[in-house]
């Protein structure tokens, strides 16, 4: 930290009965009132350096032996005034980054310029400011920070702008730390250098008020020499310092109460300023940081434009998000839900539009893939080339989000369904997470009608459920009968077509059917993969005795096709009670056998 000493005489000021005086054999002839403090001084040393005092005294030349002047709005108060007075008396004073702004404003107010006397205080302060303060990083930061009480004065004298320019030039002039090539970013030493850079100026600039910080960061961005990631890191440092744990500090419903109006207003202004400073480049800041800002926007009820801008940016990198970051509290008093579902729907819709645009543009540049590449495995799973990795991640993210909001009894069915259907069916390689979310919602909303339960399960694909999920779903009394039937037929058809030949019902499916009250019916007769009315073992023995090995494969293929047709047919009858449905299925098989 640089400093400058002026004068050599010892301090002779003292206080008596609330009045500041100076020890001297010469009688005082000037009284100056600064705010609430009175000074007994001498005209000669003061008027010789202060043009304002000369003019003020000349206006009342013969008022009395003791002439009085009052300064009610003196910049910097008594400390800055006393520093100027001591300079006039030749008393030693020390100037540094902590008091140079106040001293400079006071000297300007008293008009201590070269027009009055050569080597006056204004001139000396300007030399110190230009040669020492602006050349030092820490001095410049401290000086800029102290301009806040003298905003208009500092702007008029150019102190603020010169400090900002100096800070920006110091960051931009260090290419080793701020302009590291991406091709060498894998080197451990240079990665550490980047983090060191962030600590170097990011944490120091975080000491500034938001208006000064905004101007400094805007100037850094306009230089286009600092990597966007470092700009993003600096913004993250500033946000964590000035908006710590904002979701805890401002609870829903209490963010705008009268006791915290000022605090909320300041935080809102700070937040909106940070959002305008975000680099335009994708991935310059993490998705987690963007979502934290979005939470703060909701809690502080910031501007709608800030909310939409963050939603757009989050959508660009939604596949990087975590479920916990997406749980954005609903700050609106009109909403009964715990979390803001509308903003997540907005993010999801924008992500889908962007993905569709990218897919369309890529289709124009790539040759069409071979027909075989677009075929589905097992009739339901697309090939890896047909799916977008980001879309698969987002689909899993949505299912995790659905499981969280499903516990909220105030979540409307329409929005829950909108979220389940917002993701393309092909993006869900597995429907276990979606089934869990639906199951949680059914348990939290027992008042749903049959039609509403059917609508809720509309996006569920039973073919993509694991064996464990199928067993749970088959015994789930909350599911519509149609879904239960689909689960059973899907599991049976999958077992029937395994390895290209028809097999009997797995033991777990038999157990599930028995649990549904069908143990009195012949085992295996629910199968749609074959029209044989006998149990699996009897049918297999008869088939081995009567057909050749070549005909066996053809029959199996034909019966598998029949199975799919019957599964589809039976799944279109959802209105019968479960026992009646199963009985009808048994009777249908028996009629076919008789034929």
The tens digit of pLDDT for each residue in 213-225 reads: 999 999 999 988 8
Q: Give the per-residue pLDDT at 62.
A: 59
Contact at 8 Å (CB) between 526 and 488?
yes
Domains in the chain: how many in total? Answer: 1
Rg (CA), the chain: 40
**Would you say residue 341 lies in a domain?**
no
**Would you say residue 72 lies in a domain?**
yes
Q: Give the per-residue pLDDT at 577.
A: 43
CATH code of residue 131: 3.30.710.10
Percent above pLDDT 70 for the chain: 70
Buried-exposed string 560-578: b where 16+ CB fall within 10 A, e elsewhere = beebbebbeebeeebeeee
pLDDT for 61 beyond 80: no
Q: Give the per-residue pLDDT at 558.
A: 47
Mean pLDDT in residue range 546-553: 40
Q: Give the per-residue pLDDT at 119.
A: 94
pLDDT by residue (tens digit) across 104-147?
999 999 999 999 999 999 999 999 999 999 999 999 999 999 99
Q: Where is pLDDT greater, at 504 or 375?
A: 504
Orientation of helix 304-316 relative to helix 287-300, angle to 10°? 160
Q: Give the per-residue pLDDT at 176.
A: 43
How many residues does this entry show for the chain?
595
Q: Give the per-residue pLDDT at 553.
A: 41
**Would you say residue 52 lies in a domain?**
yes
Please tell me which of 97-111, 248-262, 571-585 the model is most confident about, judged by mean pLDDT: 97-111
Q: Are strands 93-96 and 3-6 parallel, antiparallel or unpaired?
A: antiparallel
Percent above pLDDT 90 for the chain: 58
Q: Give the per-residue pLDDT at 379.
A: 42
Number of H helices, E strands in the chain: 29, 7
Token pair 């091709």 is at which residue?
Answer: 183
Q: Give the per-residue pLDDT at 361.
A: 67
Lowest pLDDT segment from 63-77, 256-270, 397-411, 413-427? 256-270
Lowest pLDDT segment from 142-151, 374-383, 393-402? 374-383
Q: Give the per-residue pLDDT at 199.
A: 59
pLDDT for 86 beyond 90: yes
**Structural domain harbouring 67:** 3-135
Lowest pLDDT segment from 27-41, 68-82, 281-295, 561-575? 561-575
Mean pLDDT in residue range 437-446: 96
**Would you say residue 330 lies in a domain?**
no
**Would you say residue 579 lies in a domain?**
no
Q: Give the per-residue pLDDT at 568.
A: 37
Q: Give the per-residue pLDDT at 263.
A: 83
Q: Where is pLDDT greater, at 534 or 273?
A: 273
pLDDT for 412 beyond 60: yes
Q: Give the per-residue pLDDT at 81.
A: 97
**Would you say residue 229 lies in a domain?**
no
Per-residue pLDDT band for 508 (boundaries 50, 70, 90) equals: low
Q: Where is pLDDT greater, at 498 or 492?
A: 492
State the Cα–Cα distance between residues 474 and 493, nearest whole angstrom: 15
Q: Are strands 30-34 and 37-41 parallel, antiparallel or unpaired?
A: antiparallel
For 468, counting Cβ atoms within 10 Å of its Cβ (0-12 exposed, 13-18 middle, 19+ buried), the class is: exposed
**Would you say residue 464 lies in a domain?**
no
Q: Where is pLDDT greater, at 373 or 156?
A: 156
State the Cα–Cα distance between residues 504 and 495, nearest whole angstrom: 8
Q: How many CB atoms lie within 10 A of CB 191?
A: 13
Q: Give the per-residue pLDDT at 42.
A: 94
Reduced to 3 states (helix: H, G, I; strand: E, B; else coil), residue 3 is: strand
The number of C-alpha atoms within 13 Å of 208 and in the hemisphere containing its C-beta is: 26
Q: Where is pLDDT greater, at 148 or 332?
A: 148
State the Cα–Cα distance between residues 77 and 75, nearest whole angstrom: 6
Per-residue pLDDT band for 258 (boundaries 50, 70, 90) equals: very low
Mean pLDDT in residue range 18-47: 93
Q: Give the per-residue pLDDT at 511.
A: 57
pLDDT for 30 beyond 60: yes
Q: Give the per-residue pLDDT at 208.
A: 94
**Would you say residue 471 lies in a domain?**
no
Lowest pLDDT segment from 9-23, 178-192, 533-547? 533-547
Q: Give the per-residue pLDDT at 130.
A: 97
Q: How many CB atoms lie within 10 A of CB 584?
A: 13
pLDDT for 534 beyond 90: no
pLDDT for 406 beyond 80: yes
For 531, counting Cβ atoms within 10 Å of its Cβ (0-12 exposed, 13-18 middle, 19+ buried), the class is: middle
How much is the mean pLDDT over the chain? 79
For 513, counting Cβ atoms within 10 Å of its Cβ (0-12 exposed, 13-18 middle, 19+ buried), the class is: buried
Q: How many CB atoms lie within 10 A of CB 537?
A: 11
């Amino acid at each position: 930290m640089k400093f400058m000493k002026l004068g050599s005489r010892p301090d002779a000021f003292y206080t008596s009965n609330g009045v500041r005086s100076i020890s001297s054999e010469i009688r005082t002839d000037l009284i100056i009132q600064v705010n609430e403090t009175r000074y007994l001084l001498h005209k000669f040393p003061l008027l010789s350096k202060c043009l304002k005092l000369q003019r003020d005294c000349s206006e009342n030349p013969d008022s009395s032996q003791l002439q009085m002047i009052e300064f009610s709005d003196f910049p910097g108060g008594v400390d800055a005034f006393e520093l100027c007075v001591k300079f006039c008396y030749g008393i030693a004073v020390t100037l540094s980054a902590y008091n140079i702004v106040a001293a400079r404003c006071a000297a300007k107010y008293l008009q201590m310029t070269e027009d009055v006397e050569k080597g006056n205080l204004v001139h000396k302060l300007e030399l110190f400011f230009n040669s020492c303060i602006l050349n030092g990083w820490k001095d410049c930061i401290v000086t800029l920070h102290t301009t806040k009480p003298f905003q208009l004065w500092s702007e008029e004298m150019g102190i603020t702008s010169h400090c900002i320019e100096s800070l920006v030039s110091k960051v931009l002039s260090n290419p080793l730390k701020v302009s590291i090539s991406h091709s060498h970013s894998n080197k451990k030493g240079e990665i550490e250098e980047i983090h060191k850079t962030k600590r170097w100026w990011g944490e120091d600039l975080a000491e500034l008020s938001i208006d000064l910080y905004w101007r400094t960061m805007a100037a850094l961005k306009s230089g286009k020499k600092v990597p966007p990631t470092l700009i993003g890191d600096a913004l993250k440092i500033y946000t964590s310092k000035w908006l710590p744990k904002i979701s805890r500090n401002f609870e829903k419903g209490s963010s705008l109460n009268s006791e915290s109006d000022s605090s909320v207003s300041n935080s809102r202004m700070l937040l909106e300023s940070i959002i305008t400073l975000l680099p335009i480049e994708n991935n310059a800041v993490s998705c987690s940081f963007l979502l934290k800002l979005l939470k703060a926007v909701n809690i502080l009820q910031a501007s709608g434009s800030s909310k939409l801008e963050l939603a757009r940016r989050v959508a660009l990198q939604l596949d990087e998000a975590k479920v916990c970051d997406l749980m954005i509290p609903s700050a609106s008093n009109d909403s009964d839900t715990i979390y803001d579902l509308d903003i997540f729907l907005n993010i999801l819709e924008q992500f889908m539009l962007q993905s569709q645009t990218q897919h369309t543009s890529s289709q124009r540049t790539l040759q069409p893939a071979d027909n075989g590449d677009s075929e589905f495995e097992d009739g339901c799973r697309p090939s890896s080339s047909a799916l977008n990795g980001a879309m698969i991640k987002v689909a899993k993210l949505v299912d995790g989000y659905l499981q969280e909001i499903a516990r909220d009894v105030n979540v409307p069915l329409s929005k829950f369904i909108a979220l389940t259907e917002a993701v393309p069916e092909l993006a869900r390689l597995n429907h276990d997470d979606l089934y869990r979310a639906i199951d949680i919602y059914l348990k939290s909303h027992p008042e749903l009608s049959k039609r509403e339960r059917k609508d809720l399960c509309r996006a569920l694909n039973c073919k993509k459920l694991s064996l464990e999920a199928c067993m749970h779903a088959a015994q789930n009394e909350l599911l519509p009968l149609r879904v239960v039937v689909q689960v059973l037929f899907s599991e049976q058809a999958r077992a029937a077509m395994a390895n290209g030949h028809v097999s009997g019902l797995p033991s777990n499916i038999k157990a599930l059917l028995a649990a549904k009250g069908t143990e009195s019916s012949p085992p295996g007769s629910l199968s749609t993969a074959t029209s044989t009315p006998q149990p699996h073992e009897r049918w297999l023995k008869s088939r081995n005795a009567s057909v050749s090995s070549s005909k066996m494969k053809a029959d199996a293929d034909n019966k598998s096709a029949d199975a799919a047709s019957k599964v589809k047919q039976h799944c279109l009858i959802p209105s019968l009670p479960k026992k009646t449905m199963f009985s009808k299925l048994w009777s249908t098989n028996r009629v076919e056998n008789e034929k």
